[in-house]
């Protein structure tokens, strides 16, 4: 078993959560204001759903999705192209000792919620959910 592996099983620390939320808000504000000089980023509003940081706070992964879910790959490409300017701008606005490397990924939680909703609406699943616990077949 790796050293400190018991810590990773617990999930992110309060510090990781706090820094991730700070980065999420700052990144959302940056994208909303349109402070970046890339016309591709100005074409569509981008939602930042979550930012997860590594335990050492050196890497921050931002989960993004353009409004409506369209052009996700274009938005991802534009953000990755501008990651250095984004990091530099965020560093100026946040009071962090070290500025983390920002990585971007498509936020798939909306797709997962839709799939869960679809599964819960299947007739077989509805029937099983409506069956009282004592009536197992």
pLDDT tens column, 10-49? 788 999 999 999 999 999 999 998 888 888 888 888 999 9
User: Any idea which of 7-16, 70-79, 111-120 has the lowest mean pLDDT?
Assistant: 111-120
Neighbours of 73 (CB within 10 A): 9
Q: What is the reported pLDDT for 26?
A: 94
Whether the predicted pLDDT of 7 surpasses 70:
no
* Helix, coil or strand: residue 2: coil
Residue 19 lies in a domain: yes
pTM over 0.75: no
Q: What is the CATH number of the domain that holds 96?
A: 3.30.300.20
pLDDT-derived band at 1 (thresholds 50, 70, 90) equals very low
Whether 125 is in a domain gets the answer no
Q: Which residue has the tokens 């074409």?
A: 43
| Whether residue 52 has pLDDT greater than 70 | yes
Q: Please tell me the total count of domains within the chain.
A: 1
Is residue 39 situated within a structural domain? yes
The pLDDT of residue 6 is above 60? no
Residue 5: its pLDDT value, please?
45
Higher-confidence residue of 111 and 96: namely 96
Domain membership of residue 23 as a residue range:
5-107
- The C-alpha atoms of residue 81 and residue 84 are separated, in whole angstroms, by 8
**Any domain includes 76:** yes
Residue 27: inside a domain, yes or no? yes
pLDDT (mean) for 97-120: 79
pLDDT at residue 74 greater than cutoff 50? yes
Confirm whether 137 is domain-assigned.
no
Q: Is the pLDDT of residue 100 over 90?
A: yes
Eight-class DSSP state of 22: H
Residue 70 lies in a domain: yes
| Nearest partner of 100 among 58, 53, 52, judged by Cα | 58
């Amino acid at each position: 078993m790796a050293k400190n592996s018991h810590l990773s099983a617990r999930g992110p620390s309060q510090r990781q959560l706090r820094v991730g939320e700070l980065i999420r808000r700052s990144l959302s504000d940056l994208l909303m204001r349109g402070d970046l000089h890339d016309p591709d980023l100005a074409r569509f509003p981008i939602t930042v759903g979550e930012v997860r940081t590594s335990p050492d706070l050196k890497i921050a992964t931002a989960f993004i999705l353009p409004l409506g879910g369209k052009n996700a790959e274009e938005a991802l490409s534009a953000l990755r192209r501008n990651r250095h300017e984004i990091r530099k701008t965020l560093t100026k606005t946040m009071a962090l000792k070290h500025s983390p490397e920002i990585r971007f990924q498509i936020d798939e939680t909306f797709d997962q919620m839709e799939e869960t909703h679809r599964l819960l609406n299947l007739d077989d699943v509805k029937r099983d959910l409506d069956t009282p616990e004592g009536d197992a077949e």
